[in-house]
């Protein structure tokens, strides 16, 4: 019973102090004071605390796999993207708010992004879009000649979660019922790109083998292997056999070079798909404009191109949701941001439904978490469910990104070539 009682008390104390520490550091950032974290590292006959040094974890951008993990675990797409991303496609999300509060901000720095993510959330709730992920290979090296590779190199790469695989190039083409007698060169969507691939093959004197993989709904069971001959003719004849009767079908080809390898690692990318017929004209216009798509009805899914914030950047961004006492603003203890007209900027336009932290002179009675700083109690209202959700998500991100403390360096993979 004594152990049960002590363990529960310790668990409650750890949870409360972790939340208070996180909120305290948000407040510090709003005042441009340096944050400081102390992590609980162990429990024996007494409590032991260790000063954590998280510089790398705090300043490094989030991995896209972390963002995907949050979305797949049930967090709403708009909350995750607004917090963790400073750019989506070509749309900016208050990039300068990833650092100390800026002196000024303009609508063009956030308005289109906000409109898009709110729209995506609405579409997600209606079941008109689906959010998933794709797995791609990210290159870690330059070209490696096959002659310079050994079985040991492949094994060493696999141990690190990396892969040595043939160098490849992606080509997207649109075919129009090509037959064997037709000149295929006029029928693909990106002639310069494909022609460049073919010319590079010829210049290197490479003849065979070259493997071509393609992505269609009616993909053949085996890849098509090219041999000597007309590359244009062979590529397009093979692809045309895999297509439906749609005369504007879009196909993604992957051309592989078996005499050259690269070191890669698997990387997840956020993927979004939709049912075009279910979308309203306004929703179609939103997606076409945001992702610069000419024919939305011909595209089944897209990869979301993200530029993530760092953990510190997320904290700086959310710190703008702190309602600072008027006398502290008047005393120039914090930055007062202005808009294009020179009027004080209302940060609630960006953070109002994400996180609101209030301030009062006496300890609040209805606080989910509260800390005392510079003579005021800063707190999140226990009835503010949106702010509590965002703060809980921030806690999860902190534990994912920085909770593990310093990481042990991975061994270096040595290859017998300069990479």
CB 414 within 8 A of CB 394: no
User: Beta-carbon neighbour count of residue 338 at 10 Å?
Assistant: 14
Query: What is the DSSP annotation of 68-79?
Result: HHHHHTT--HHH
CA 121 – CA 103 distance, rounded (Å):
30
- Determine the pLDDT at residue 53: 43
Q: How is residue 285 written in tokens? A: 């216009």
Range with the poorest average pLDDT among 101-105, 203-207, 296-300, 406-410 = 406-410
- Asked if pLDDT for residue 404 goes beyond 80, the answer is no
Q: How is residue 337 written in tokens? A: 């941001």
User: Beta-carbon neighbour count of residue 207 at 10 Å?
Assistant: 12
- Determine the pLDDT at residue 418: 34
Q: In degrees, to the nearest 5, what angle opens at C-alpha 225 toward C-alphas 221 and 226?
A: 150
Whole-prediction pTM: 0.71
Range with the poorest average pLDDT among 21-35, 132-146, 384-398 = 132-146
CB 391 within 8 A of CB 23: yes
Q: Could you tell me which residue, 301 or 116, shows the higher pLDDT?
A: 116
- Determine the pLDDT at residue 1: 52
- For residue 268, name the pLDDT band (cuts at 50, 70, 90): confident
Nearest to 9 by CA among 50, 52, 43: 43
Query: Which of 75-89, 161-175, 258-272 is most confident?
Result: 75-89
Q: Identify the residue whose tokens are 């244009």.
A: 232
The number of residues making up the chain comes to: 419
- Asked if pLDDT for residue 96 goes beyond 90, the answer is yes
From residue 366, alpha-carbon distances to 60, 363, 372 in Å are 36, 9, 15
Mean pLDDT estimate for the chain: 76
- Determine the pLDDT at residue 179: 37
- Asked if pLDDT for residue 20 goes beyond 50, the answer is yes
Q: How is residue 374 written in tokens? A: 């510079």
- Determine the pLDDT at residue 186: 39
CB 406 within 8 A of CB 360: no
**What's the CA dihedral at 338, 340, 345, 350 to 10 degrees?**
-130
Q: Which helix (H) or strand (E) holds 367?
A: strand 367-373
- For residue 380, name the pLDDT band (cuts at 50, 70, 90): very high
Question: In the chain, what are the domain boundaries?
Answer: 133-274
């Amino acid at each position: 019973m004594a152990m049960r009682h002590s363990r529960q008390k310790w668990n409650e104390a750890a949870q409360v102090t972790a939340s208070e520490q996180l909120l305290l550091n948000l407040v510090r950032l709003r005042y441009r004071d340096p944050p400081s974290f102390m992590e609980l590292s162990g429990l024996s006959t007494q409590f032991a605390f260790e000063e954590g040094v998280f510089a790398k974890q705090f300043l490094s951008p989030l991995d896209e796999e972390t963002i995907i993990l949050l979305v797949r675990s049930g967090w709403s797409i708009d909350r995750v993207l607004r917090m963790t991303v400073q750019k989506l496609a070509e749309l900016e999300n208050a990039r300068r708010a990833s650092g100390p509060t800026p002196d000024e901000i303009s609508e063009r720095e956030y308005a289109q992004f906000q409109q898009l993510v709110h729209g995506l959330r609405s579409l997600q709730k209606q079941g008109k879009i689906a959010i998933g992920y794709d797995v791609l290979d990210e290159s870690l090296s330059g070209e490696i000649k096959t002659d310079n590779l050994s079985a040991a190199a492949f094994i060493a790469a696999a141990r690190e979660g990396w892969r040595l695989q043939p160098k490849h190039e992606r080509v997207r083409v649109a075919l129009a019922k090509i037959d064997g007698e037709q000149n295929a060169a006029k029928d693909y969507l990106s002639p310069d790109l494909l022609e460049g691939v073919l010319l590079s093959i010829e210049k290197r004197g490479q003849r065979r083998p070259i493997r071509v993989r393609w992505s269609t709904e009616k993909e053949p069971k085996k890849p098509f292997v090219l041999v000597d001959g007309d590359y244009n003719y062979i590529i397009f004849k093979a692809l045309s056999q895999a297509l439906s009767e749609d005369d504007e079908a879009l196909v993604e080809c992957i051309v592989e070079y078996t005499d050259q390898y690269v070191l890669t690692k698997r990387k997840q990318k956020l993927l979004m798909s939709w049912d075009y017929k279910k979308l309203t004209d306004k929703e179609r216009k939103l997606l076409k404009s945001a992702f610069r798509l000419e024919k939305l009805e011909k595209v089944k899914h897209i990869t979301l191109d993200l530029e993530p914030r760092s953990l510190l950047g997320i904290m700086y961004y959310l710190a703008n949701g702190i309602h600072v006492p008027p006398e502290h603003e008047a005393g120039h203890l914090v930055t007062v941001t202005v808009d294009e007209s020179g009027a004080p900027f209302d940060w609630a336009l960006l953070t109002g439904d994400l996180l609101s932290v209030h301030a009062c002179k006496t300890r609040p009675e209805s606080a989910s978490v509260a800390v005392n700083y510079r003579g005021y109690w800063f707190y999140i209202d226990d009835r503010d469910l949106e702010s509590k959700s965002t703060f809980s998500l921030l806690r999860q991100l902190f534990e994912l990104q920085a909770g593990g403390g310093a990481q042990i360096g991975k061994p270096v993979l040595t290859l017998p070539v300069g990479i």
